[in-house]
């Protein structure tokens, strides 16, 4: 059996009575049907307390049955804060309530409710900070009381993905208005995507009872669904939540575990309206729910919401609720109507059932069972009569239908204005931006005929906007009629309190009033101070009474108080859904797998991976060995990650002259030249070499992590300069190696058609040719300070190049070397690494690079700043240093400080033990007057020791550069 | 149960005191007008009245108090900066913050959680060491820590090597704290108002009367007022306001977005920041994960939200905290960041003689609220630029005396 409250067919649109589902709630086994939500299955089993509230731990049951409220947030094994009234049952599901200590029914913290007098609004701002330091203790206690669900560290990311979709008209909401809009737009020829958050299309047509016969909405629904099914140009997404509308009609749709990113030419928002609780004492008791929630239980899930009911209403929907209850066997003890003289076609029907009709009266309190876990009656009093005249009606269900607010969240996302409208007694939407349309009860139209007309009208307008004209004239709908449905102010304060305005945060009427008297009058301040609307339901039910209470307390018109800003998402979206499969691009050199085969320890360099060193064992000694191999024999390093830029065109020289600090006019074809780039403030941002391959063609290198920025800057500047030059980033098209060391020429000379002899291929020359039949560019450059050739080949030949060179060098002991050895070798030569030996403020004079600046040309990026800096005194300077007393194991760490008289005067940027010099060497910024060779300065080590460094002329090794020029 | 709450529970009437005064008319003239009723403006007003005895002061706020970036930031307070100037300045702020609840008699929920800036590359590790060394030298608690220590400080962090950017180390800054950002504004507002400062919300400055290089009057939507001195503290709108006063600021205004999760029981204690992954995250006292990332890719005067931001941020959050994949986002929002070329603020004198600026607060303004308020008040009261503000003068941009703080910005921008 799936519950004492289960009703027979035909009610129960969503459930399949042939498929029973077993689940656990609070350790007890239950059964439901396929299609049940957790909450509907629990209600069917007469289980009404589903969770507990945030602040006072009050027992809570279903309120909306729509996933709009936070009353029934429950805990699953790996997911906290799940809407029990929305989450579909699945076999074996294990469900717990939230916010209790002990058990859901016996909460050890339910005493918190009795302390409410001592926990006024914003109580944590008023206490817990004396004596000094007290908050540290209190906060850990309060943190444990706060929070909703628990997250398990064992949770793993389930598969989720993303798709891109396009349509002419997106219709959001598949109720009467949305269906009519979709049909109309499709009729006009538009491709339509219809999105609905529910399992079944139809919105309120699935459960609400209009004024006439019960069958009316069912018939309308069938007709509209049939028309939608006929239209081939309507794509229907159900169980799909349009969770936000972002710039340019970019709709985020959560469809299961897929994030559908939908671009629509036009959008119709037909998201309906949310029925609102009335504010009276104990309005949060389990058994007190919206009229529409009772109808959802009955018609969607076939669950009887109670045995004896009172319906509290201000509109004719309440009468439909009463009839639905009667038809499912619930006794309706009374219909309490706030109106003096309600006119209603359903009244005679109620009379037939002998239902007592109490008009001109208010429910002012729910009466709780002694355990406090359910409603057992209501207190009713005639309007304008003292509370002493209140009378009681017993019941175990109170259905409230006193009014609506539009579900206008998505319209707020796109910047529409939502403010209180006195004439409609609810919020109204205005200033909807172009391309977005709305229809139905989101525009405060409730009459079914008007809703349908509005849908057709909006669907037509949206299709027209998207370029599909209507055949004839579409009549505009009747004006909004919400005034007939909304109580003007369903707030009934009670001397004993407990009239909840915000169920998420347990805020009572006096809390808001108190917050206003604390000075928080602006609606945003009221929200932030009282936490009104800050909970998971984001003010869906508290915003309207909040504005009304603030208005009454401040004497300001509710329509000018505005309302708090509504922001995305519409409903809670999982981190995993937004993240999707999380593509983190990684770039691999064409020789990557050769490095892995050689046992390389890889390290990230920008988006790339590069070998740090090869082999396992003592890192420092491996690096030193690799470096010595280059100095004494020959080494091979993969330089594929270096940026490569092709600069072609008659203005190439002029372009380089403007982008870089040097001058390139006299650079000969077949030669390379250093390039140094500064930004507009004269700060060094990149370097490399420019190889002149022909008069109008340069091949320029850039740093691994800098090339993307360099390329963007080049495009950005040339968009203004309009020079006749083409710039292409060819980093990925080329790969390359640097073969370096005294024996490097011996390795390549037999492999290439280029004459590599010293006389015909001197230092800084560039050649094009072949190596082992691979087309290649050869450059003689000297970053590591040895005879060396940089060989660039098309990327597809990367592995072949590596293999050829390793084979050819095998006999003489060629050694692959990594980034770390390269850093050491270049340090011995005093070459800087941009970003390590420079920082966000380093200009060329500080880095001793005045030699790289041409002062003869009229302009380069940063030249004006550098001119100004040249005239100022330079505060700091990058110098080389040696630590005469240090051994190889006490090398200063990069970024340790240079101190002088107790103040910071600089820092070490690079330091290492040089195996060839057998000295600790490094680069450091020091104050300008410390920078003279032979001066000493003090380095502060991590352990607080100080070391004396001697300023040394650069380079440390082979100062005449004989080794690289042989 | 603290005495304050017992007293409250037993009281017959509510409340004991009103924090923010009821709206009232503008006077014709004030000695000092502070434009901007956020944390900085309110703190300046508070210290002007409380410390320097200048109480003929009006704070003009075009919206509601604390409604700009004060109410939109992720409420992280730290002093682990890179430059000597920056560290000294923010360290003074941290020291003021620690005492602020008692100073203002208003609990700002200041919680020292510890602050981890993760390094995923060796260059990031280098800059962490640089910051640690500078901090330690200046007496600020910061140290470079490695994965074993990180595991102890933040057991829920994913320290696996099997991710795109494994964690190599971190800068750990024990004093790193979070606070309730709104409460900072309200506490200063309440304090300023107790000392006689007038707070005018919904009062927008429309233009300024300028003669002889001085502002003589301010035109608001509620009429014209005269003023002795003006302080501008309108983060996000700094360039627009300075333009009214007749000068330009080297600022680009770029949206910065953030978001919170639904509340969860406590699981994350420290504040965790990753520059490489463009993420910062902490868990608030309410239980929400408060998360932010890098600024938007282009300048814009709008606080609209974007989906791309959330997609990118969540991918990176899950790399650090994979167990949050089923946790839900509650809300996203944006503030406007006034970015300066050197990632340091602009405070002090302006080209207009009686007009002081407090601007260029990019993504780092909240943590400076107390020190900025105190020192700006000192500047207004004495006419002398306090030493701690001197490096942040507007003139530094033309004089090439920048304060390079880009390396200490929480995430890449």
Q: Read off the pTM.
A: 0.94
In angstroms, the CA A377 to CA A393 distance is 5
Among chain B residues, CA nearest to A942 = B133
Task: Indicate the residue of B137, B318, B341 with minimum beta-carbon distance to A904.
Answer: B137
Q: What is the mean pLDDT of chain B?
A: 94
As a whole-number percent, the residues of chain A with pLDDT over 70 amount to 99
The answer, yes or no, to whether residue A570 has pLDDT greater than 70, is: yes
Q: What is the mean pLDDT of chain A?
A: 95
The answer, yes or no, to whether residue B331 has pLDDT greater than 60, is: yes
Pick one of 3.50.50.60, 3.40.640.10, 3.30.70.120, 3.20.20.300 as the CATH number of A280-400. 3.50.50.60
The answer, yes or no, to whether residue A3 has pLDDT greater than 70, is: yes
CATH topology agreement for domains A280-400 and A592-640+733-825: no
Predicted pLDDT at A888: 79
- Chain B contact for A712 (CB, 8 A cutoff): no
Decide: B410 and B366 in contact? Cβ < 8 Å.
no
Predicted pLDDT at A382: 96
The answer, yes or no, to whether residue A462 has pLDDT greater than 60, is: yes
In angstroms, the CA A770 to CA B299 distance is 49
Topology of domain A592-640+733-825 in CATH is Gyrase A; domain 2 (3.30.1360)
Topology of domain B23-75+182-251+342-408 in CATH is FAD/NAD(P)-binding domain (3.50.50)
Contacts of B190 in chain A (CB under 8 A): 519
User: Which is nearest to A181 in space by CA: A387, A463, A577, A564?
Assistant: A463
As given in the structure block, the two tokens for residue A435 are 């391309």
As a whole-number percent, the residues of chain A with pLDDT over 90 amount to 88
* Domain residue limits, chain B: 23-75+182-251+342-408, 112-175+252-339
Contact map slice: B 267-326 vs A, CB within 8 A? 267, 285-287, 304-307, 310-311, 313-315, 317-319, 322-326
Going from the C-alpha of A849 to that of each of A643, A667, A684, the distances in angstroms are 22, 19, 10
As given in the structure block, the two tokens for residue B102 are 């008692």
Per-residue pLDDT of B41-76, as tens digits, reads 999 999 999 999 999 999 999 999 999 999 999 999
Decide: A78 and A61 in contact? Cβ < 8 Å.
no
How many other CB atoms are there within 10 angstroms of residue A421's CB atom?
19
Per-residue pLDDT of B159-199, as tens digits, reads 999 888 999 999 999 999 999 999 999 999 999 999 999 99
User: Which is nearest to A196 in space by CA: A129, A134, A269?
Assistant: A269
The answer, yes or no, to whether residue B235 has pLDDT greater than 50, is: yes
Predicted pLDDT at A211: 63
Mutate: best of A147, A716, A864, partner B, most B CBs <10 A = A147
Task: Indicate the residue of B305, B326, B404 with minimum beta-carbon distance to A79.
Answer: B326
- The CATH homologous superfamily for domain B112-175+252-339 is D-Amino Acid Oxidase, subunit A, domain 2 (3.30.9.10)
- Chain B contact for A890 (CB, 8 A cutoff): no
The answer, yes or no, to whether residue B411 has pLDDT greater than 60, is: no
Task: Indicate the residue of A127, A520, A835 with minimum beta-carbon distance to B107.
Answer: A127
Shortest CA gap A133–chain B (Å): 9
Q: What is the ipTM of this complex?
A: 0.96
A873-966: CATH number: 2.40.30.110
The answer, yes or no, to whether residue A213 has pLDDT greater than 70, is: no
The answer, yes or no, to whether residue B412 has pLDDT greater than 60, is: no
DSSP annotation of A824 reads H
The answer, yes or no, to whether residue A216 has pLDDT greater than 90, is: no
Decide: A884 and A949 in contact? Cβ < 8 Å.
no
* Domain residue limits, chain A: 1-156, 161-274+406-484, 280-400, 499-565, 592-640+733-825, 643-729, 873-966
Least confident of A343-347, A440-444, A687-691, A903-907: A343-347
- The CATH homologous superfamily for domain A161-274+406-484 is FAD/NAD(P)-binding domain (3.50.50.60)
Per-residue pLDDT of A639-661, as tens digits, reads 999 999 999 999 999 999 999 99
Inter-chain touch A575–B314, beta carbons under 8 Å: yes
- Chain B contact for A78 (CB, 8 A cutoff): yes
Pick one of 3.30.1300.10, 3.20.20.10, 3.30.565.10, 3.10.20.440 as the CATH number of A1-156. 3.10.20.440
- Chain A contact for B101 (CB, 8 A cutoff): yes
Shortest CA gap B410–chain A (Å): 15
Tell me the CATH class for A643-729: alpha beta
The answer, yes or no, to whether residue A243 has pLDDT greater than 70, is: yes
In angstroms, the CA A416 to CA A408 distance is 9
- Chain A contact for B190 (CB, 8 A cutoff): yes
How, if at all, do strands A288-290 and A734-740 pair? unpaired
Predicted pLDDT at A784: 94
Predicted pLDDT at B413: 42
Going from the C-alpha of A620 to that of each of A613, A828, B166, the distances in angstroms are 10, 16, 22
Predicted pLDDT at A212: 59
The answer, yes or no, to whether residue A663 has pLDDT greater than 80, is: yes
Decide: A549 and A561 in contact? Cβ < 8 Å.
no
The answer, yes or no, to whether residue A202 has pLDDT greater than 60, is: yes
Predicted pLDDT at B407: 62
Going from the C-alpha of A254 to that of each of A52, A77, A355, the distances in angstroms are 28, 22, 44
* A873 bridge partner residues: none
């Amino acid at each position: 059996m799936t519950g004492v409250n289960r009703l027979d067919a035909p009610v129960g649109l969503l459930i399949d009575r042939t498929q029973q589902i077993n689940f656990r709630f609070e350790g007890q086994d239950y059964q439901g049907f396929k299609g049940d939500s957790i909450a509907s299955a629990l209600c069917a089993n007469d289980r009404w307390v589903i969770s507990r509230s945030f602040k006072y731990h009050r027992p809570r049951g279903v309120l909306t049955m729509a996933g709009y409220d936070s009353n029934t947030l429950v805990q699953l094994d790996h997911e906290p804060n799940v809407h029990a009234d929305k989450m579909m049952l699945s076999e074996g599901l294990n469900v717990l309530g939230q916010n209790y200590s002990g058990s859901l029914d016996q909460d050890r913290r339910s005493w918190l409710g009795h302390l409410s007098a001592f926990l006024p609004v914003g109580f944590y701002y008023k206490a817990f900070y004396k004596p000094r330091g007290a908050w540290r203790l209190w906060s850990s206690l309060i943190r444990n009381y706060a929070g909703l669900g628990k997250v398990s560290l064992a949770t793993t990311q389930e598969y989720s993905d993303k798709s891109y979709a396009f349509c002419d008209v997106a219709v959001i909401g598949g109720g009467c208005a949305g269906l009519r809009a979709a049909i109309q737009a499709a009729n006009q020829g538009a491709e339509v995507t219809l999105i609905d958050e529910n399992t079944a299309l139809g919105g309120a047509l699935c459960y609400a009872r209009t004024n006439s016969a019960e069958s009316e909405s069912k018939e309308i629904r069938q007709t509209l669904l049939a028309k939608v099914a006929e239209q081939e140009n309507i794509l229907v997404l159900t169980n799909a939540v349009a969770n936000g509308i972002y710039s340019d009609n970019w709709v985020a749709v959560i469809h299961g575990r897929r994030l559908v990113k939908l671009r629509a030419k036009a959008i119709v928002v037909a998201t309906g309206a949310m029925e609102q609780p009335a504010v009276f004492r104990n309005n949060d008791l389990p058994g007190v729910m919206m009229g529409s929630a009772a109808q959802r239980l009955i018609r969607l899930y076939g669950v009887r919401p109670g045995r004896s009911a009172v319906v509290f209403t201000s509109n004719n929907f309440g009468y439909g609720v009463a009839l639905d209850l009667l038809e499912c066997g619930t006794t309706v003890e009374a219909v309490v109507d706030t109106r003096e003289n309600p006119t209603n076609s359903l009244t005679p029907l109620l009379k037939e059932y002998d239902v007592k009709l109490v008009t001109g009266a208010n429910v002012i309190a729910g009466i709780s069972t002694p355990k406090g876990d359910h409603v057992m009656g209501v207190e009713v009093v005639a309007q304008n009569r003292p509370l002493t005249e209140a009378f009681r009606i017993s019941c175990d269900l109170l259905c409230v239908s006193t009014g609506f607010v539009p579900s206008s969240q998505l319209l707020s996302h796109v910047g529409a204005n939502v403010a209180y409208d006195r004439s409609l007694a609810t919020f109204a939407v205005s200033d909807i931006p172009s391309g977005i349309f709305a229809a139905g009860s989101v525009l405060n139209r409730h009459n079914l005929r008007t809703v349908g007309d509005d849908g057709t009208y909006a669907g037509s307008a949206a299709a027209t906007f998207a370029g599909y004209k209507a055949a004839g004239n579409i009549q505009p709908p009747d004006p909004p009629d919400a005034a007939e449905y909304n109580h003007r102010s369903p707030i009934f304060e009670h001397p004993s309190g407990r009239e909840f305005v915000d169920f998420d945060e347990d805020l009572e009427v006096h809390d808001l009033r108190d917050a206003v008297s604390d000075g928080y009058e602006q609606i945003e301040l009221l929200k932030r101070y009282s936490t009104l609307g800050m909970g998971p339901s984001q003010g869906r039910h508290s915003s309207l009474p909040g504005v009304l209470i603030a208005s009454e307390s401040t004497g300001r018109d509710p329509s000018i108080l505005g309302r708090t800003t509504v922001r995305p998402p519409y409903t809670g979206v999982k981190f995993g859904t937004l993240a999707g499969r999380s593509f983190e691009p990684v770039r691999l050199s064409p020789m990557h797998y050769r490095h892995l085969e050689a046992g390389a320890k890889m390290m990230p360099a920008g988006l790339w991976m590069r070998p740090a060193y090869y082999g396992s064992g003592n890192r420092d000694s491996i690096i030193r060995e690799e470096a010595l191999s280059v100095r004494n024999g020959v080494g091979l390093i993969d330089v594929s990650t270096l940026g490569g830029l092709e600069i072609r065109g008659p203005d190439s020289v002029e372009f380089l002259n403007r982008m870089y600090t040097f001058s390139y006019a006299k650079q000969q074809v077949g030669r390379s030249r250093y390039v140094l780039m500064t930004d507009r403030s004269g700060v060094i941002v990149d370097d490399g070499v420019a190889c002149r391959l022909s008069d109008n063609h340069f091949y320029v290198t850039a740093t691994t992590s800098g090339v993307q920025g360099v390329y963007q800057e080049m495009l950005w500047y040339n968009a203004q300069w309009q020079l006749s030059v083409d710039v292409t980033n060819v980093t990925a098209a080329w790969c390359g190696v640097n073969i370096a060391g005294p024996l490097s020429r011996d390795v390549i000379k037999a492999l290439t058609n280029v004459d590599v002899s010293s006389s015909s291929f001197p230092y800084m020359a560039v050649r094009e040719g072949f190596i082992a039949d691979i087309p290649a560019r050869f450059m003689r450059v000297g970053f590591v300070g040895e005879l060396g050739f940089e060989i660039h080949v098309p990327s597809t030949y990367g592995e072949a190049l590596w293999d050829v060179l390793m084979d050819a060098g095998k006999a003489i002991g060629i050694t692959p070397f990594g980034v770390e050895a390269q850093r050491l070798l270049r340090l011995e030569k005093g070459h800087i690494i941009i970003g390590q030996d420079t920082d966000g403020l380093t200009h060329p004079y500080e880095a001793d690079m005045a030699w790289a600046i041409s002062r003869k040309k009229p302009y380069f990026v940063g030249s004006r700043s550098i001119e100004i800096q040249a005239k100022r005194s330079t505060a700091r300077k990058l110098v080389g240093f040696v630590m005469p007393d240090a051994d190889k194991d006490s090398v200063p760490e990069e970024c340790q400080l240079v101190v002088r008289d107790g103040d910071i005067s600089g820092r070490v940027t690079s330091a290492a033990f040089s195996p060839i010099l057998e000295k600790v060497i490094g680069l450091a910024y020091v104050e300008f007057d410390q920078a003279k060779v032979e001066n000493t300065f003090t380095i502060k080590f991590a352990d607080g020791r100080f070391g004396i460094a001697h300023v040394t002329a650069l380079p440390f090794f082979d100062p005449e550069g004989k080794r690289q020029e042989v | 149960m603290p005495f304050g709450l017992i007293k409250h529970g037993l009281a017959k009437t509510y409340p004991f005191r009103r924090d923010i005064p009821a709206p009232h008319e503008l006077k014709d003239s004030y000695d000092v007008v502070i434009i901007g009723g956020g944390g900085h403006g309110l703190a300046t007003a508070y210290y002007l009245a409380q410390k320097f005895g200048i109480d003929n002061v009006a704070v003009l706020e075009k919206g509601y108090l604390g409604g700009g970036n004060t109410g939109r930031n992720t409420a992280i307070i730290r002093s682990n900066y890179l430059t000597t100037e920056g560290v000294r300045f923010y360290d003074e702020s941290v020291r003021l913050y620690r005492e602020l609840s008692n100073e203002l008699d208003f609990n700002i929920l200041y919680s020292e959680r510890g602050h981890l800036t993760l390094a995923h590359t060796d260059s990031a590790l280098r800059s962490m060491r640089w910051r640690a060394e500078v901090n330690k030298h200046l007496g600020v608690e910061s140290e470079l820590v490695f994965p074993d220590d990180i595991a102890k400080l933040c057991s829920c962090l994913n320290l696996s090597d099997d991710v795109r950017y494994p964690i190599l180390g971190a800068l750990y800054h024990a004093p790193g704290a979070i606070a309730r950002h709104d409460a900072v504004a309200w506490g200063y507002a309440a304090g300023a108002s107790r000392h006689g400062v007038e707070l005018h919300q919904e009062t927008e400055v429309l233009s300024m009367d300028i003669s002889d290089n001085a502002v003589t009057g301010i035109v608001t939507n509620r009429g014209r007022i005269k003023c002795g001195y003006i302080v501008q503290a309108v983060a996000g709108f700094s360039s627009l306001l300075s333009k009214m006063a007749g000068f330009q600021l080297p600022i680009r205004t770029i949206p910065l977005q953030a978001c919170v999760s639904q509340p969860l029981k406590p699981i994350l204690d420290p504040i965790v920041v990753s520059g490489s992954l463009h993420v910062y995250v902490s868990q608030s006292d309410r239980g929400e994960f408060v998360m932010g990332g890098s600024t938007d890719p282009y300048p814009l005067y709008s606080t609209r939200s974007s989906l791309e931001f959330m997609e990118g941020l969540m991918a990176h959050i899950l790399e650090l905290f994979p167990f949050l994949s089923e946790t839900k986002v509650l809300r996203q929002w944006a503030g406007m960041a006034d970015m300066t070329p050197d990632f340091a603020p602009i405070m002090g004198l302006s080209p207009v003689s009686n007009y002081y600026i407090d601007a260029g607060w990019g993504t780092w303004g909240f943590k400076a609220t107390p020190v900025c308020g105190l020192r700006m008040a000192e500047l207004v009261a004495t006419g002398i630029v306090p030493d701690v503000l001197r490096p942040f003068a507007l003139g530094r941009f033309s004089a090439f005396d920048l304060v390079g703080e880009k390396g200490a910005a929480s995430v890449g921008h």
